[in-house]
């Protein structure tokens, strides 16, 4: 627990609400081509799927705007989205999916945060923007620790499902 990001007394702590808790509705996995992936993520997902990088790119990726992105399925969802199991590559899913909704564009703009709340039922409408930013800062600190110290690509910041592998 970080003393700079968490309340120091029980009364303050009681007032603290969770800024985000994924409802697993799948909305954020729907839509054409927003999931760009880095070279390192290509390697991590290919390794997770136990296939070569070349096969992963050939089967699951497409080039968009000069970048590599995960394909969209015929149903309009990300090709790795499963309506029952949710994200089929959850332990290796891209940064972009892990970070939602704590994106810098949302953390820096209350207007963007309002738009994000409309799009994502997991963002707590009872939580203030200031509290959201505070929890985003905490999340970011934890993520850096995980990325640099534990090297665990499976940490989920956004799309959490404790019932299955998503
Ligand atoms: S992150 Fe938001 S939009 Fe995506 S599945 Fe969770 S609740 Fe739904
Ligand atoms: S990789 Fe997983 S979390 Fe990301 S959009 Fe696809 S199904 Fe959703």
Cβ 37 under 6 angstroms from ligand 2: no
Atom of ligand 1 nearest to the CA of 122: 7
pLDDT digits (tens, 9 = 90+) for 67-107: 999 999 999 999 999 999 999 999 999 999 999 999 999 99
Nearest to 89 by CA among 144, 19, 161: 161
Determine the atom of ligand 1 nearest the C-alpha atom of 160: 6
Q: What is the pTM of this model?
A: 0.74
Q: Are 10 and 49 in contact (CB under 8 A)?
A: no
Does residue 100 line the site of ligand 2, with CB under 6 A? no
User: In testing the pocket of ligand 2, which one of 78, 82, 86, 165 has its CB within 8 Å of the most ligand atoms?
Assistant: 78
The whole-angstrom separation of Cα 80 and Cα 96 is 14
Q: With a 6 A CB cut-off, is 89 part of the ligand 2 pocket?
A: yes
pLDDT for residue 161 is more than 60: no
Query: Phi/psi zone of residue 109: left (φ > 0), alpha (ψ -120 to 50 degrees), beta?
Result: beta
């Amino acid at each position: 627990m970080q003393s700079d990001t968490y309340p120091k007394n029980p009364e303050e702590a009681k007032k603290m609400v969770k800024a985000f808790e994924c409802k697993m509705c799948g909305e954020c996995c729907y839509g054409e081509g927003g999931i760009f992936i880095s070279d390192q993520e290509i390697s991590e997902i290919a390794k997770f799927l136990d296939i070569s990088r070349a096969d992963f790119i050939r089967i699951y990726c497409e080039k968009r705007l000069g970048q590599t992105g995960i394909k969209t399925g015929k149903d309009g969802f990300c090709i790795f989205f499963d309506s029952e199991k949710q994200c089929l590559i959850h332990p290796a899913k891209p940064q972009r999916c892990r970070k939602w909704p704590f994106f810098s564009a949302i953390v820096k703009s209350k207007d963007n945060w309002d738009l994000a709340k409309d799009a994502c039922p997991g963002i707590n409408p009872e939580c203030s923007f200031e509290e959201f930013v505070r929890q985003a800062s905490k999340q970011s600190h934890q993520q850096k620790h995980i990325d640099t110290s534990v090297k665990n690509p499976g940490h989920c910041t956004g799309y959490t499902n404790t019932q299955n592998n998503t």
